[in-house]
Structure 1
Amino acid sequence: MSSPDGPRPPAGAQAPATPSASGGPARPARTAVVIPAAGRGVRLGPGAPKALRTLSGTPMLIHAVRAMAASRAVSLVVVVAPPDGAHEVKNLLDTHALPERTDYVVVPGGMTRQESVRLGLGALPEDVTTVLVHDAARPLVPVETVDAVIEAVRGGAPAVVPAVPLADTVKEVEPSAVPGDPEPVLATPVRARLRAVQTPQGFDRDTLMRAHATVTLDGEGATDDAGMVERLGEPVVVVPGHEEAFKVTRPLDLVLAEAVLARRRANDGF
């Protein structure tokens, strides 16, 4: 739940300490998550924004927030809402149970994902040193994946992405000007070197802030924060992702997500 006096420190896991600016005792490092949820999700069809579509009666956004809050290392979740829907999203979060150790804040988003993430970063307290950025449309990420990303950042990596090997062969093509027309193949990348990237992506806070302050992309902006860090020349590392961390984008993905939730309820009482 939200606290008017600011976020509470997480219970449980001990975070590495960071030096105090005043030279006093070191303060525990804190981890926060930014969830950009300001998009409309047109590929799922007309209706509510994608993040507010329901899975088993619960909005995907709530599933995503709970997935992040399941990590005992996460003490704050910043949800970036549609510019005209922040109050609605705040009410939605207020009415669903979340771990007591995790605070949340809702801020209005921008016109692009990149702008929304930047606005979410602006809501972080100064003592947050590790930042995760997570897609609201990935509602079923296991906590083990979240913890693996956080551990890698705290271990010294400036940017970390969870990813899975590709099952299909990939072709690089010359896009056709007319949808549906044949497209010539330009190359066949080596599949063993390719990975499908997921979220949450994890970052050293200063590195991510610098990327958003200096990397400007035209059009829809950046859809991958790790790619922005790459443009700075900083290293990005991959940790194993999970097959259940897929992105719910099409109607068929909703069917698969419902099946995963049904299996979890049957196996774990989720």
Structure 2
Amino acid sequence: MNDRSGPVVGIIPAAGRGVRLGETLPKAFVELDGRTMLDRAVHTMIDSGTVDRVVIVVPPELAGTPADELVGTGPAGRVTVVAGGAERADSVRAGLDAAGDARFVLVHDAARALTPPDLCARVTWALRDGKDAVIPVLPVADTIKSIDTDGQVTGTPDRATLRAVQTPQGFDVALLRRANGDAGDATDDAGLVERLGEPVHTVAGDPLAFKITTPLDLVLARALLASGTAARESAEREQER
């Protein structure tokens, strides 16, 4: 087995506008209980105890913003802020360019703001254990239909073989750089690795790592924080580790 030591760097693409969320701010800067989604995502990575540094990829007009203005004074010394591009793949490339001597990278959506730190740890441990591409997944609860361009149902995939994919997604840094060289319109980093014919492994995801994309998602996230549910479930998982 090749050497699995070396730094782990988190990359958070946060340059998107988040039109579907219905907010005036870029999505990553929308607040949940007094903290932005970006701030929560950074702390998730740092608090996992397995991520050495974090690269935040922001809209170009915010690239000169000091890290402590974006994520607080605690982890700011371990955070780099760089400018993103027009597409998500451009932002991931910018993050990879700033990852320095990273051995592994974890790419995480700021919109998955309630992700527990132990999910980051699970992905990192799988990388250290010999996997080069790792994604967290959950079983699919709904029945899924495939359709054609006219909206006609063409099939019903076996739900037992389907999984919903979350982040952070973890990679050997050289593999992701190779995969990201011709990203096209891809929205999923693991999909780029699959295009190369390389294996992608899974670890158990977490219901709290849902993506805050619509106004309803935002209501759910704020309700979970107000009720203390997110904090309680995260603490229980920490005790189980």
TM-score computed with the length of structure 1 as normaliser: 0.81
Which residue in 1 is equivalent to 2:20? 43
Quote the Cα distance in structure 1 between the aligned partners of 2:231 and 2:126. Answer: 32
Mapping for residues 1-270 of structure 1, pairs under 5 Å: 18=3, 28-88=5-65, 90=67, 92-93=69-70, 96-99=72-75, 103-126=78-101, 128-176=102-150, 183-213=151-181, 215-217=182-184, 221-262=185-226, 263-264=228-229, 267=232
Q: Mind listing any 5+ residue stretches in structure 1 that lack a counterpart?
A: 1-16, 20-27, 177-182
Post-superposition shift, 1:269? Answer: 11
Post-superposition shift, 1:116? Answer: 0.5
Note closer, same or farther for the CA distance 1:266–1:133 as it changes in structure 2 (3 Å cut).
closer
Note closer, same or farther for the CA distance 1:77–1:60 as it changes in structure 2 (3 Å cut).
same
SS in 1 for 2:25: coil
Note closer, same or farther for the CA distance 1:237–1:255 as it changes in structure 2 (3 Å cut).
same
Whether contact under 8 Å (1:78, 1:106) holds in the other structure is yes
Quote the Cα distance in structure 2 between the aligned partners of 1:76 and 1:266. Answer: 24
Quote the Cα distance in structure 2 between the aligned partners of 1:232 and 1:265. Answer: 37
Note closer, same or farther for the CA distance 1:89–1:264 as it changes in structure 2 (3 Å cut).
farther
Post-superposition shift, 1:73? Answer: 1.4
Post-superposition shift, 1:124? Answer: 1.1
Note closer, same or farther for the CA distance 1:233–1:259 as it changes in structure 2 (3 Å cut).
same
Whether contact under 8 Å (2:65, 2:81) holds in the other structure is no
Quote the Cα distance in structure 2 between the aligned partners of 1:144 and 1:79. Answer: 20
Note closer, same or farther for the CA distance 1:151–1:256 as it changes in structure 2 (3 Å cut).
same
Larger radius of gyration: 1
User: Which residue identity is paired with 1:83?
Assistant: P
Q: Mind listing any 5+ residue stretches in structure 2 that lack a counterpart?
A: 236-241
Whether contact under 8 Å (1:81, 1:89) holds in the other structure is no
Tell me the number of residue pairs that the alignment of Structure 1 and Structure 2 aligns. 234
Post-superposition shift, 1:93? Answer: 2.3
Quote the Cα distance in structure 1 between the aligned partners of 2:149 and 2:68. Answer: 44
User: Which residue identity is paired with 2:57?
Assistant: V
Report runs of 4+ in structure 1 exceeding 6 Å deviation: none
SS in 2 for 1:84: helix
TM-score computed with the length of structure 2 as normaliser: 0.90
Note closer, same or farther for the CA distance 1:140–1:249 as it changes in structure 2 (3 Å cut).
same
Post-superposition shift, 1:260? Answer: 2.1
Quote the Cα distance in structure 2 between the aligned partners of 1:131 and 1:266. Answer: 26
User: Which residue identity is paired with 2:123?
Assistant: V
Quote the Cα distance in structure 1 between the aligned partners of 2:172 and 2:229. Answer: 33
Post-superposition shift, 1:155? Answer: 1.0
Post-superposition shift, 1:259? Answer: 2.1
Note closer, same or farther for the CA distance 1:167–1:202 as it changes in structure 2 (3 Å cut).
same
SS in 1 for 2:143: coil
Which residue in 1 is equivalent to 2:239? none
Compute the RMSD of aligned alpha carbons.
2.3
Post-superposition shift, 1:137? Answer: 0.5
Whether contact under 8 Å (2:50, 2:120) holds in the other structure is no
Give a deviation string over 1:145-166, Cα, whole Å, max 9, x none: 1111001111111100001001
Note closer, same or farther for the CA distance 1:110–1:257 as it changes in structure 2 (3 Å cut).
same
Whether contact under 8 Å (1:34, 1:77) holds in the other structure is yes
Say which structure is richer in helix.
2
SS in 2 for 1:207: helix
SS in 2 for 1:230: helix
SS in 2 for 1:107: strand
